[in-house]
């Protein structure tokens, strides 16, 4: 265990996941590597949804979709021995957004923003986590931006930011760097995940209501290009502090 992994070992870590699947997609490799060495608490923020890949499930409605997605999340966490909670907020698909507006909306105009920030603050106070992982909101998704903003307001923890998959695969590395340094983030480093890439892919497939072959391809593409020769696959982390 080296570098970032060694630094995280033995820590209480709160993982902020906008939706079920974001942690598995974005930092599933890191989780697989250090789950036995750190204490993880995964908090899913927007656990009510109207979106699923299978048409039959989509037609079944939000209650059925939410139940399936929560079960997928619980299975992923059980696999890695992670404590899990969810806040029960409605995601963008239930709040009047479409594919375009959910990536252009301003969190200041969303009535969920303050409620989510308070709920995350309350959960963090109870968890006493020393380190909080939050999404970078690279793709501009309103749900991710709300969680990023809430994490930015936490005063008593180190905040580590992960590159959201699949969104990060849609931009060049130069564009990602401009986006993240532009909001005051600093690159923390890369975690090689060659030894757990298979486990990460298996973890992504646990979210079958959301995952397709294209998502796996996008994750793999990004993991390869950020490895930069030090490994074949990696995940990059940033910091607010």
Cα separation, 153 vs 118, whole angstroms: 10
* Residue 139 · residue 170 · CB < 8 Å: yes
Give yes or no for a contact between 50 and 57, defined as CB atoms under 8 angstroms apart.
Answer: no
User: DSSP E strands: which ranges in 58-184?
Assistant: 83-86, 131-135, 158-162
Query: If you ran DSSP here, which 8-state letter would residue 241 be given?
Result: -
- Cβ(131)–Cβ(158) below 8 Å: yes
Cβ contacts of residue 58 below 8 Å, gap of 6+?
50, 51, 52, 65
Q: In what order do the strands lie in the sheet with 186-192?
A: 83-86, 39-44, 12-17, 131-135, 158-162, 234-239, 186-192
Give the per-residue pLDDT at 5: 94
Predicted local distance difference test score (pLDDT) of residue 155: 87
Backbone Cα Rg of the chain = 17
Strand 234-239 and strand 186-192: the pairing is: antiparallel
Please give the Cα distance from 169 to 136 (Å, whole number).
13
Residue ranges and CATH numbers for the domains of the chain are: 3-239 (3.40.50.10320)
Q: Are 23 and 73 in contact (CB under 8 A)?
A: no
pLDDT score of 50? 97
pLDDT at residue 228, rounded to an integer? 83
Tens digit of pLDDT at every position of the chain (241 positions): 668 999 999 999 999 999 999 999 999 999 999 999 999 999 999 999 999 999 999 999 999 999 999 999 999 999 999 999 999 999 999 999 999 999 999 999 999 999 999 999 999 999 989 999 999 999 999 999 999 999 999 988 999 999 999 999 999 999 999 999 999 999 999 999 999 999 999 999 999 999 999 999 999 999 999 998 878 999 999 999 7
What pLDDT, on a 0 to 100 scale, did the predictor assign at position 1?
Answer: 64
Length of the chain: 241
């Amino acid at each position: 265990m080296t570098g970032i992994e060694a630094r995280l070992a033995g820590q209480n870590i709160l993982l902020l996941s906008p939706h079920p699947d974001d942690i598995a997609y974005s930092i599933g490799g890191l989780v697989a590597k250090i789950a036995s060495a750190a204490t993880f608490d995964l908090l899913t923020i927007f656990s009510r949804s109207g979106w699923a890949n299978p048409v039959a499930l989509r037609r079944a409605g939000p209650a059925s979709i939410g139940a399936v997605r929560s079960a997928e999340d619980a299975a992923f966490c059980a696999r890695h021995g992670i404590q899990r909670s969810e806040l029960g907020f409605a995601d963008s698909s239930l709040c009047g957004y479409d594919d375009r507006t959910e990536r252009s909306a301003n969190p200041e105009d969303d009535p969920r923003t303050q409620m989510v920030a308070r709920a995350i603050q309350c959960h963090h106070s109870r968890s006493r986590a020393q380190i909080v992982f939050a999404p970078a909101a690279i793709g501009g998704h309103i749900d991710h931006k709300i969680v990023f903003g809430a994490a930015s307001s936490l005063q008593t923890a180190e905040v580590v930011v992960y590159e959201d998959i699949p969104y990060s695969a849609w931009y060049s590395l130069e564009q990602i760097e401009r986006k993240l340094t532009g909001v005051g983030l600093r690159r923390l480093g890369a975690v090689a995940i060659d030894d757990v890439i298979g486990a990460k892919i298996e973890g992504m497939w646990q979210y079958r209501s959301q995952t397709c072959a294209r998502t796996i391809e996008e994750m793999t593409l990004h993991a390869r290009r950020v490895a930069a020769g030090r490994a074949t696959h990696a995940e990059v982390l940033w910091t607010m502090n």
